[in-house]
Protein backbone atom coordinates (compact mmCIF):
# COMPACT_ATOMS: atom_id res chain seq x y z
CA UNK A 1 0.00 0.00 0.00
CA UNK A 2 1.52 3.33 -1.05
CA UNK A 3 1.42 6.53 1.01
CA UNK A 4 -1.59 7.97 -0.82
CA UNK A 5 -3.61 4.81 -0.27
CA UNK A 6 -2.69 4.94 3.43
CA UNK A 7 -4.01 8.49 3.62
CA UNK A 8 -7.36 7.37 2.18
CA UNK A 9 -7.71 4.20 4.26
CA UNK A 10 -10.70 4.19 6.61
CA UNK A 11 -9.95 4.77 10.28
CA UNK A 12 -11.59 1.47 11.25
CA UNK A 13 -9.29 -0.34 8.82
CA UNK A 14 -6.20 1.61 9.86
CA UNK A 15 -6.79 0.83 13.52
CA UNK A 16 -7.01 -2.88 12.75
CA UNK A 17 -3.94 -2.83 10.54
CA UNK A 18 -1.96 -1.07 13.26
CA UNK A 19 -3.07 -3.57 15.91
CA UNK A 20 -2.05 -6.44 13.62
CA UNK A 21 1.33 -4.75 12.95
CA UNK A 22 0.61 -4.59 9.21
CA UNK A 23 1.42 -0.88 9.22
CA UNK A 24 3.06 1.30 11.84
CA UNK A 25 1.66 4.49 13.41
CA UNK A 26 4.86 6.26 12.33
CA UNK A 27 4.37 5.21 8.72
CA UNK A 28 0.76 6.40 8.72
CA UNK A 29 1.56 9.69 10.44
CA UNK A 30 4.47 10.43 8.12
CA UNK A 31 2.26 9.78 5.10
CA UNK A 32 -0.44 12.13 6.38
CA UNK A 33 2.03 14.86 7.34
CA UNK A 34 3.72 14.66 3.93
CA UNK A 35 0.37 15.00 2.22
CA UNK A 36 -0.54 17.97 4.44
CA UNK A 37 2.77 19.63 3.54
CA UNK A 38 2.05 19.16 -0.14
CA UNK A 39 -1.65 20.03 -0.35
CA UNK A 40 -2.44 22.31 2.56
CA UNK A 41 -0.94 25.46 0.99
CA UNK A 42 -3.63 25.29 -1.71
CA UNK A 43 -6.55 23.98 0.37
CA UNK A 44 -5.81 25.77 3.67
CA UNK A 45 -7.54 23.14 5.78
CA UNK A 46 -5.05 23.40 8.65
CA UNK A 47 -4.18 26.63 10.41
CA UNK A 48 -1.76 24.93 12.82
CA UNK A 49 0.19 21.76 12.01
CA UNK A 50 1.66 19.86 14.96
CA UNK A 51 4.14 17.74 13.04
CA UNK A 52 6.76 17.33 15.78
CA UNK A 53 4.21 16.45 18.44
CA UNK A 54 2.41 14.06 16.08
CA UNK A 55 5.60 12.21 15.17
CA UNK A 56 6.60 11.91 18.82
CA UNK A 57 3.14 10.52 19.66
CA UNK A 58 3.35 8.14 16.70
CA UNK A 59 6.70 6.79 17.88
CA UNK A 60 5.24 6.22 21.34
CA UNK A 61 2.22 4.50 19.75
CA UNK A 62 4.48 2.26 17.68
CA UNK A 63 6.49 1.25 20.73
CA UNK A 64 3.27 0.44 22.58
CA UNK A 65 2.06 -1.79 19.75
CA UNK A 66 5.36 -3.66 19.70
CA UNK A 67 5.09 -4.43 23.39
CA UNK A 68 1.39 -5.36 23.13
CA UNK A 69 0.07 -2.29 24.91
CA UNK A 70 -2.18 -0.49 22.41
CA UNK A 71 -4.09 2.25 24.20
CA UNK A 72 -7.52 2.14 22.62
CA UNK A 73 -9.72 1.96 19.51
CA UNK A 74 -7.97 4.87 17.74
CA UNK A 75 -4.43 3.76 18.53
CA UNK A 76 -2.10 5.29 15.93
CA UNK A 77 -4.90 6.84 13.83
CA UNK A 78 -4.37 10.49 12.77
CA UNK A 79 -7.05 13.03 13.62
CA UNK A 80 -7.53 16.80 13.32
CA UNK A 81 -9.15 19.12 15.86
CA UNK A 82 -11.18 22.19 14.89
CA UNK A 83 -9.61 25.44 16.06
CA UNK A 84 -12.63 26.26 18.23
CA UNK A 85 -11.76 23.31 20.51
CA UNK A 86 -9.08 23.90 23.13
CA UNK A 87 -5.88 21.85 23.01
CA UNK A 88 -3.32 21.89 25.78
CA UNK A 89 -0.06 23.50 24.69
CA UNK A 90 -1.29 24.01 21.11
CA UNK A 91 -2.48 27.37 19.80
CA UNK A 92 -6.28 27.71 19.73
CA UNK A 93 -7.28 30.93 17.99
CA UNK A 94 -11.03 30.40 17.42
CA UNK A 95 -10.34 31.92 14.01
CA UNK A 96 -9.98 35.33 15.66
CA UNK A 97 -7.24 37.92 15.77
CA UNK A 98 -8.34 38.43 19.37
CA UNK A 99 -6.84 35.02 20.21
CA UNK A 100 -4.07 34.84 17.61
CA UNK A 101 -1.49 33.74 20.18
CA UNK A 102 -3.70 31.94 22.72
CA UNK A 103 -2.29 28.64 24.00
CA UNK A 104 -4.63 26.79 26.40
CA UNK A 105 -3.30 25.02 29.48
CA UNK A 106 -5.85 22.19 29.27
CA UNK A 107 -7.59 19.96 26.76
CA UNK A 108 -11.31 19.89 26.02
CA UNK A 109 -12.94 16.61 27.12
CA UNK A 110 -13.16 15.37 23.53
CA UNK A 111 -9.44 15.99 23.04
CA UNK A 112 -8.63 14.15 26.27
CA UNK A 113 -10.73 11.23 25.03
CA UNK A 114 -9.20 10.89 21.56
CA UNK A 115 -5.73 11.06 23.10
CA UNK A 116 -6.67 8.39 25.64
CA UNK A 117 -7.97 6.25 22.76
CA UNK A 118 -4.54 6.49 21.11
CA UNK A 119 -5.29 8.93 18.27
CA UNK A 120 -2.47 11.05 16.81
CA UNK A 121 -3.39 14.74 16.61
CA UNK A 122 -1.79 16.22 13.49
CA UNK A 123 -3.10 19.78 13.77
CA UNK A 124 -5.89 22.31 14.19
CA UNK A 125 -8.30 23.04 11.34
CA UNK A 126 -9.47 26.40 10.11
CA UNK A 127 -12.78 28.00 11.13
CA UNK A 128 -14.50 31.36 10.66
CA UNK A 129 -14.19 33.61 13.69
CA UNK A 130 -16.11 31.96 16.57
CA UNK A 131 -17.75 29.68 13.98
CA UNK A 132 -20.14 32.45 12.95
CA UNK A 133 -20.90 31.47 9.34
CA UNK A 134 -21.26 28.59 6.92
CA UNK A 135 -18.07 29.38 5.00
CA UNK A 136 -14.60 28.91 6.47
CA UNK A 137 -12.67 32.14 6.08
CA UNK A 138 -11.26 34.68 8.50
CA UNK A 139 -8.83 37.61 8.51
CA UNK A 140 -6.26 35.59 10.45
CA UNK A 141 -5.79 32.60 8.14
CA UNK A 142 -7.82 33.30 5.00
CA UNK A 143 -10.25 30.96 3.26
CA UNK A 144 -10.38 27.16 3.18
CA UNK A 145 -10.96 25.78 -0.33
CA UNK A 146 -13.03 22.82 -1.45
CA UNK A 147 -10.76 19.89 -2.41
CA UNK A 148 -13.23 18.80 -5.10
CA UNK A 149 -12.75 22.07 -7.02
CA UNK A 150 -9.46 21.93 -8.98
CA UNK A 151 -9.62 25.71 -9.46
CA UNK A 152 -9.63 26.15 -5.66
CA UNK A 153 -12.46 28.66 -5.82
CA UNK A 154 -15.38 26.79 -4.18
CA UNK A 155 -16.13 26.95 -0.48
CA UNK A 156 -15.52 23.97 1.77
CA UNK A 157 -18.47 25.14 3.85
CA UNK A 158 -18.34 26.05 7.51
CA UNK A 159 -17.83 26.51 10.17
CA UNK A 160 -15.96 23.17 10.31
CA UNK A 161 -14.72 23.71 6.77
CA UNK A 162 -11.09 23.05 7.59
CA UNK A 163 -12.10 19.74 9.14
CA UNK A 164 -14.24 18.77 6.14
CA UNK A 165 -11.55 19.69 3.63
CA UNK A 166 -8.90 17.81 5.59
CA UNK A 167 -10.88 14.56 5.62
CA UNK A 168 -11.93 14.87 1.98
CA UNK A 169 -8.37 15.51 0.78
CA UNK A 170 -6.82 12.65 2.74
CA UNK A 171 -5.15 14.92 5.28
CA UNK A 172 -6.33 12.69 8.20
CA UNK A 173 -9.13 10.11 8.20
CA UNK A 174 -10.95 11.60 11.19
CA UNK A 175 -11.81 15.11 12.35
CA UNK A 176 -13.58 16.71 15.27
CA UNK A 177 -15.95 19.48 14.21
CA UNK A 178 -18.54 21.59 15.97
CA UNK A 179 -22.12 22.36 14.93
CA UNK A 180 -24.32 25.22 16.21
CA UNK A 181 -26.54 25.68 13.15
CA UNK A 182 -25.16 23.14 10.69
CA UNK A 183 -21.41 23.60 11.02
CA UNK A 184 -20.56 19.89 10.79
CA UNK A 185 -23.16 18.97 8.18
CA UNK A 186 -22.61 21.94 5.85
CA UNK A 187 -18.91 21.25 5.19
CA UNK A 188 -19.44 17.49 5.21
CA UNK A 189 -22.00 17.89 2.45
CA UNK A 190 -19.90 20.39 0.49
CA UNK A 191 -16.77 18.20 0.78
CA UNK A 192 -18.39 14.82 0.07
CA UNK A 193 -17.82 13.18 3.46
CA UNK A 194 -19.87 11.99 6.45
CA UNK A 195 -20.79 14.40 9.22
CA UNK A 196 -22.75 13.55 12.36
CA UNK A 197 -24.54 15.97 14.64
CA UNK A 198 -25.38 13.49 17.33
CA UNK A 199 -28.08 14.01 19.97
CA UNK A 200 -27.65 17.34 21.72
CA UNK A 201 -25.41 16.97 24.82
CA UNK A 202 -24.45 13.37 23.98
CA UNK A 203 -20.86 14.66 23.72
CA UNK A 204 -19.65 17.10 26.40
CA UNK A 205 -18.56 20.61 25.51
CA UNK A 206 -16.03 22.47 27.61
CA UNK A 207 -15.30 25.31 28.01
CA UNK A 208 -19.03 25.99 27.74
CA UNK A 209 -20.06 27.59 24.48
CA UNK A 210 -22.12 30.81 24.51
CA UNK A 211 -24.43 28.91 22.15
CA UNK A 212 -24.46 25.85 24.41
CA UNK A 213 -28.16 25.10 23.95
CA UNK A 214 -27.59 24.38 20.24
CA UNK A 215 -23.86 23.52 20.21
CA UNK A 216 -22.49 20.07 19.39
CA UNK A 217 -18.98 18.64 19.01
CA UNK A 218 -19.05 15.67 16.69
CA UNK A 219 -17.33 13.36 14.20
CA UNK A 220 -16.44 13.96 10.57
CA UNK A 221 -15.10 11.08 8.49
CA UNK A 222 -15.18 9.43 5.09
CA UNK A 223 -17.38 6.52 6.17
CA UNK A 224 -20.35 6.10 8.47
CA UNK A 225 -18.56 3.45 10.52
CA UNK A 226 -15.58 5.75 11.02
CA UNK A 227 -17.95 8.40 12.37
CA UNK A 228 -19.52 5.81 14.67
CA UNK A 229 -16.08 4.70 15.87
CA UNK A 230 -15.20 8.28 16.81
CA UNK A 231 -18.57 8.76 18.51
CA UNK A 232 -17.84 5.71 20.66
CA UNK A 233 -14.71 7.47 21.90
CA UNK A 234 -16.09 10.95 22.57
CA UNK A 235 -19.65 10.27 23.85
CA UNK A 236 -20.52 10.22 27.53
CA UNK A 237 -20.86 12.65 30.44
CA UNK A 238 -18.21 14.97 31.82
CA UNK A 239 -18.65 16.88 35.05
CA UNK A 240 -17.33 20.06 33.44
CA UNK A 241 -20.40 20.13 31.19
CA UNK A 242 -23.46 20.30 33.43
CA UNK A 243 -25.74 19.49 30.49
CA UNK A 244 -23.93 16.39 29.22
CA UNK A 245 -26.10 13.27 29.03
CA UNK A 246 -25.54 10.09 31.03
CA UNK A 247 -23.72 7.29 29.25
CA UNK A 248 -26.09 5.36 26.99
CA UNK A 249 -24.20 2.07 26.93
CA UNK A 250 -24.67 1.99 23.15
CA UNK A 251 -21.92 0.68 20.89
CA UNK A 252 -22.40 3.07 17.96
CA UNK A 253 -20.14 1.05 15.69
CA UNK A 254 -22.14 -2.11 16.31
CA UNK A 255 -25.33 -0.08 15.73
CA UNK A 256 -24.32 0.36 12.08
CA UNK A 257 -25.11 -3.30 11.41
CA UNK A 258 -28.43 -4.87 10.44
CA UNK A 259 -29.96 -2.76 7.70
CA UNK A 260 -33.19 -0.77 7.74
CA UNK A 261 -35.73 -3.03 6.03
CA UNK A 262 -39.26 -2.29 7.20
CA UNK A 263 -38.56 1.19 8.62
CA UNK A 264 -41.07 3.97 8.04
CA UNK A 265 -39.22 6.81 6.33
CA UNK A 266 -40.46 10.32 5.56
CA UNK A 267 -38.90 12.19 2.65
CA UNK A 268 -39.26 15.96 2.71
CA UNK A 269 -37.67 17.77 -0.24
CA UNK A 270 -38.21 21.22 1.27
CA UNK A 271 -39.65 20.87 4.82
CA UNK A 272 -42.70 22.60 3.40
CA UNK A 273 -41.05 26.03 3.22
CA UNK A 274 -37.49 25.96 1.88
CA UNK A 275 -36.20 27.16 -1.48
CA UNK A 276 -33.98 24.48 -3.05
CA UNK A 277 -31.72 24.56 -6.08
CA UNK A 278 -33.33 22.31 -8.73
CA UNK A 279 -30.18 20.27 -9.34
CA UNK A 280 -29.78 19.60 -5.62
CA UNK A 281 -33.45 18.63 -5.38
CA UNK A 282 -33.13 16.15 -8.24
CA UNK A 283 -29.96 14.47 -6.95
CA UNK A 284 -31.23 14.08 -3.40
CA UNK A 285 -34.68 12.85 -4.48
CA UNK A 286 -32.97 10.06 -6.42
CA UNK A 287 -30.99 9.13 -3.30
CA UNK A 288 -34.11 9.14 -1.13
CA UNK A 289 -35.79 6.66 -3.49
CA UNK A 290 -33.02 4.15 -2.75
CA UNK A 291 -34.47 3.70 0.73
CA UNK A 292 -37.54 2.15 -0.87
CA UNK A 293 -36.04 0.60 -4.01
CA UNK A 294 -32.87 -0.88 -2.49
CA UNK A 295 -33.13 -0.84 1.29
CA UNK A 296 -36.66 -2.13 1.89
CA UNK A 297 -38.10 0.90 3.68
CA UNK A 298 -41.59 2.33 3.32
CA UNK A 299 -40.95 5.85 2.04
CA UNK A 300 -43.57 8.60 1.92
CA UNK A 301 -43.22 12.26 1.06
CA UNK A 302 -44.21 14.07 4.24
CA UNK A 303 -43.32 17.35 5.94
CA UNK A 304 -43.05 17.58 9.74
CA UNK A 305 -45.35 20.60 9.71
CA UNK A 306 -43.37 23.32 11.46
CA UNK A 307 -42.86 26.80 10.04
CA UNK A 308 -39.36 28.02 9.23
CA UNK A 309 -37.66 28.62 12.62
CA UNK A 310 -34.85 30.61 11.03
CA UNK A 311 -35.40 33.85 12.90
CA UNK A 312 -35.57 32.07 16.25
CA UNK A 313 -32.45 30.13 15.39
CA UNK A 314 -30.54 33.28 14.50
CA UNK A 315 -31.57 35.00 17.74
CA UNK A 316 -30.26 32.11 19.82
CA UNK A 317 -27.15 31.49 17.71
CA UNK A 318 -26.03 35.06 17.08
CA UNK A 319 -26.95 36.08 20.60
CA UNK A 320 -24.39 33.54 21.75
CA UNK A 321 -21.78 34.61 19.20
CA UNK A 322 -22.24 38.23 20.30
CA UNK A 323 -21.40 37.20 23.86
CA UNK A 324 -17.88 36.37 22.66
CA UNK A 325 -17.18 40.02 21.86
CA UNK A 326 -19.46 41.92 24.24
CA UNK A 327 -17.81 44.73 26.19
CA UNK A 328 -14.52 44.79 24.34
CA UNK A 329 -12.57 48.06 24.42
CA UNK A 330 -12.43 49.83 21.05
CA UNK A 331 -8.87 48.75 20.25
CA UNK A 332 -9.82 45.10 20.76
CA UNK A 333 -13.16 45.39 18.99
CA UNK A 334 -11.28 46.66 15.94
CA UNK A 335 -9.72 43.21 15.58
CA UNK A 336 -13.07 41.48 14.92
CA UNK A 337 -13.78 40.31 11.37
CA UNK A 338 -15.70 43.27 9.86
CA UNK A 339 -18.19 40.86 8.25
CA UNK A 340 -18.91 39.32 11.65
CA UNK A 341 -19.36 42.76 13.21
CA UNK A 342 -21.91 43.64 10.50
CA UNK A 343 -23.77 40.36 10.96
CA UNK A 344 -24.00 40.87 14.73
CA UNK A 345 -25.31 44.38 14.25
CA UNK A 346 -27.94 43.15 11.79
CA UNK A 347 -29.00 40.17 13.89
CA UNK A 348 -28.71 41.27 17.52
CA UNK A 349 -28.88 45.06 17.95
CA UNK A 350 -32.14 45.98 19.64
CA UNK A 351 -32.98 42.48 20.82
CA UNK A 352 -34.48 42.13 24.28
CA UNK A 353 -34.91 39.33 26.78
CA UNK A 354 -38.46 38.97 25.48
CA UNK A 355 -37.11 38.27 21.99
CA UNK A 356 -34.93 35.51 23.38
CA UNK A 357 -37.83 34.04 25.35
CA UNK A 358 -39.95 34.21 22.21
CA UNK A 359 -37.26 32.36 20.26
CA UNK A 360 -37.30 29.60 22.84
CA UNK A 361 -41.09 29.43 22.54
CA UNK A 362 -40.64 28.82 18.81
CA UNK A 363 -38.15 26.13 19.70
CA UNK A 364 -40.64 24.44 22.01
CA UNK A 365 -43.32 24.50 19.32
CA UNK A 366 -40.83 22.96 16.90
CA UNK A 367 -40.17 20.16 19.37
CA UNK A 368 -43.88 19.57 19.96
CA UNK A 369 -44.35 19.13 16.21
CA UNK A 370 -41.32 16.90 15.74
CA UNK A 371 -42.01 14.44 18.51
CA UNK A 372 -45.52 13.89 17.11
CA UNK A 373 -44.03 13.46 13.63
CA UNK A 374 -41.56 10.83 14.84
CA UNK A 375 -44.39 8.87 16.41
CA UNK A 376 -45.38 8.11 12.79
CA UNK A 377 -41.94 7.80 11.17
CA UNK A 378 -38.62 6.22 12.13
CA UNK A 379 -36.52 8.58 10.02
CA UNK A 380 -36.75 11.86 8.12
CA UNK A 381 -34.77 12.41 4.92
CA UNK A 382 -34.00 15.88 3.52
CA UNK A 383 -31.35 17.51 1.39
CA UNK A 384 -28.48 18.54 3.63
CA UNK A 385 -27.95 21.91 1.95
CA UNK A 386 -30.24 23.73 -0.48
CA UNK A 387 -27.45 24.91 -2.79
CA UNK A 388 -24.21 23.64 -4.29
CA UNK A 389 -20.93 24.94 -2.83
CA UNK A 390 -20.61 28.67 -3.51
CA UNK A 391 -17.45 30.75 -3.84
CA UNK A 392 -14.98 30.50 -0.95
CA UNK A 393 -14.84 33.60 1.24
CA UNK A 394 -18.52 34.46 0.82
CA UNK A 395 -21.06 34.22 3.63
CA UNK A 396 -23.62 32.40 1.49
CA UNK A 397 -26.21 33.28 -1.16
CA UNK A 398 -29.21 35.48 -0.45
CA UNK A 399 -31.15 34.01 -3.35
CA UNK A 400 -32.00 30.33 -3.87
CA UNK A 401 -33.97 29.05 -6.87
CA UNK A 402 -34.92 32.66 -7.75
CA UNK A 403 -36.27 33.28 -4.22
CA UNK A 404 -34.77 35.85 -1.87
CA UNK A 405 -33.71 34.28 1.42
CA UNK A 406 -32.49 35.62 4.73
CA UNK A 407 -29.21 34.74 6.43
CA UNK A 408 -29.08 30.93 6.86
CA UNK A 409 -31.74 30.64 4.12
CA UNK A 410 -29.42 28.54 1.94
CA UNK A 411 -29.06 25.98 4.75
CA UNK A 412 -32.69 25.60 5.87
CA UNK A 413 -32.40 21.89 6.65
CA UNK A 414 -29.69 22.01 9.30
CA UNK A 415 -30.57 24.58 11.98
CA UNK A 416 -34.03 23.19 12.86
CA UNK A 417 -32.34 20.12 14.31
CA UNK A 418 -29.88 22.15 16.35
CA UNK A 419 -32.93 23.74 17.92
CA UNK A 420 -34.67 20.40 18.49
CA UNK A 421 -31.49 18.46 19.35
CA UNK A 422 -32.39 15.44 17.19
CA UNK A 423 -29.49 13.40 15.78
CA UNK A 424 -28.80 14.20 12.13
CA UNK A 425 -26.29 12.61 9.76
CA UNK A 426 -25.22 13.78 6.31
CA UNK A 427 -23.93 11.31 3.73
CA UNK A 428 -22.66 11.91 0.18
CA UNK A 429 -25.15 11.09 -2.59
CA UNK A 430 -23.66 12.46 -5.79
CA UNK A 431 -22.15 15.40 -7.60
CA UNK A 432 -23.38 18.46 -9.44
CA UNK A 433 -22.65 18.88 -13.14
CA UNK A 434 -19.62 20.93 -12.08
CA UNK A 435 -18.26 18.03 -10.02
CA UNK A 436 -19.06 19.33 -6.53
CA UNK A 437 -20.52 17.04 -3.84
CA UNK A 438 -24.14 16.87 -2.66
CA UNK A 439 -25.38 15.44 0.65
CA UNK A 440 -28.49 13.73 2.02
CA UNK A 441 -29.49 14.40 5.63
CA UNK A 442 -30.88 11.55 7.76
CA UNK A 443 -32.68 12.73 10.92
CA UNK A 444 -33.81 10.45 13.72
CA UNK A 445 -35.85 10.46 16.90
CA UNK A 446 -34.43 11.95 20.07
CA UNK A 447 -31.60 9.79 21.46
CA UNK A 448 -31.75 7.46 18.44
CA UNK A 449 -28.35 7.86 16.81
CA UNK A 450 -28.32 4.08 16.41
CA UNK A 451 -31.06 4.06 13.75
CA UNK A 452 -29.57 7.10 12.01
CA UNK A 453 -26.15 5.44 11.79
CA UNK A 454 -27.66 2.14 10.66
CA UNK A 455 -29.53 3.95 7.90
CA UNK A 456 -26.40 5.79 6.83
CA UNK A 457 -24.38 2.57 6.76
CA UNK A 458 -27.10 0.79 4.75
CA UNK A 459 -27.18 3.62 2.22
CA UNK A 460 -23.38 3.59 2.02
CA UNK A 461 -23.48 -0.13 1.20
CA UNK A 462 -26.05 0.50 -1.54
CA UNK A 463 -24.26 3.53 -3.00
CA UNK A 464 -20.59 3.49 -1.88
CA UNK A 465 -18.50 6.65 -1.95
CA UNK A 466 -15.40 6.02 0.18
CA UNK A 467 -13.20 5.07 -2.78
CA UNK A 468 -13.85 8.38 -4.54
CA UNK A 469 -11.04 10.91 -4.23
CA UNK A 470 -10.87 14.60 -5.13
CA UNK A 471 -8.76 15.54 -8.14
CA UNK A 472 -5.35 16.73 -7.00
CA UNK A 473 -3.93 18.51 -10.04
CA UNK A 474 -1.20 21.01 -9.36
CA UNK A 475 -2.02 22.84 -6.14
CA UNK A 476 -1.92 26.60 -6.49
CA UNK A 477 -1.98 28.60 -3.23
pLDDT tens per residue, range 211-233: 999 999 999 999 999 999 999 99
Q: Residue 357: pLDDT above 50?
A: yes
Q: Known catalytic residue: 209?
A: no
Q: How confident is the model at residue 472 (pLDDT cuts 50, 70, 90)?
A: confident
The predicted structure's pLDDT at residue 475: 45
Which of these is catalytic: 24, 155, 159, 420? 159
Annotation marks residue 183 as catalytic: yes
Mind listing the pLDDT tens digit for each residue in 117-146?
A: 999 999 999 999 999 999 999 999 999 999
At residue 477, does pLDDT exceed 70?
no
Q: What is the average per-residue pLDDT within 320-333?
A: 96
pLDDT mean over 255-259: 98
**Residue range 57-64: average pLDDT?**
98
The reply to whether the predicted model has a pTM over 0.95 is yes
When pLDDT is cut at 50, 70 and 90, the band that residue 476 belongs to is very low
Annotated catalytic residue, options 80, 96, 137, 183: 183
Confirm whether 82 is a catalytic residue: yes
Mean of the pLDDT values across residues 37-56? Answer: 98
- Determine the pLDDT at residue 71: 83
Q: Is the predicted pLDDT of residue 473 greater than 90, yes or no?
A: no
pLDDT in tens, 151-208: 999 999 999 999 999 999 999 999 999 999 999 999 999 999 999 999 999 999 999 9
Q: What is the mean pLDDT of residues 327-337?
A: 97
Percent of the chain with pLDDT strictly greater than 70: 99
How far apart, in whole angstroms, are the C-alpha atoms of residue 469 and residue 192?
9
- Mean pLDDT on 53-62: 98
Whole-number Å distance between alpha carbons of 179 and 23: 34
Which among 80, 82, 96, 124 is annotated as catalytic? 82
- Phi and psi at residue 176, to the nearest 5°: -100, 120
If you average pLDDT over residues 283-302, what whole number do you get?
98
| Residue 474 confidence (pLDDT) above 60 | no
The full set of domains in the chain, from first to last, is 3-462 (3.90.1300.10)
Amino acid sequence: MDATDLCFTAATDLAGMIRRKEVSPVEVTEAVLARIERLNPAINAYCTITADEALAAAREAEAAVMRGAARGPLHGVPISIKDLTITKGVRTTRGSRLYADAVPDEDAPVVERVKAAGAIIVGKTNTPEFGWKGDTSNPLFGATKNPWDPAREASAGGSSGGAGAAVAAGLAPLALGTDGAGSIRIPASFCGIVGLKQQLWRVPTYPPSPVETVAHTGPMARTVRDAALLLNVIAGPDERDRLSLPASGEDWLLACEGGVRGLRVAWSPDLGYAAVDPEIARIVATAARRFADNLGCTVEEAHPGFADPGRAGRIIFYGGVAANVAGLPPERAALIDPALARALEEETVGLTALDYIGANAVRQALWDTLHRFFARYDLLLTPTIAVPPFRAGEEGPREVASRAVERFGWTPFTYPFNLSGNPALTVPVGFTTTGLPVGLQIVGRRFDEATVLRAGAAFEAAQPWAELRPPEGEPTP
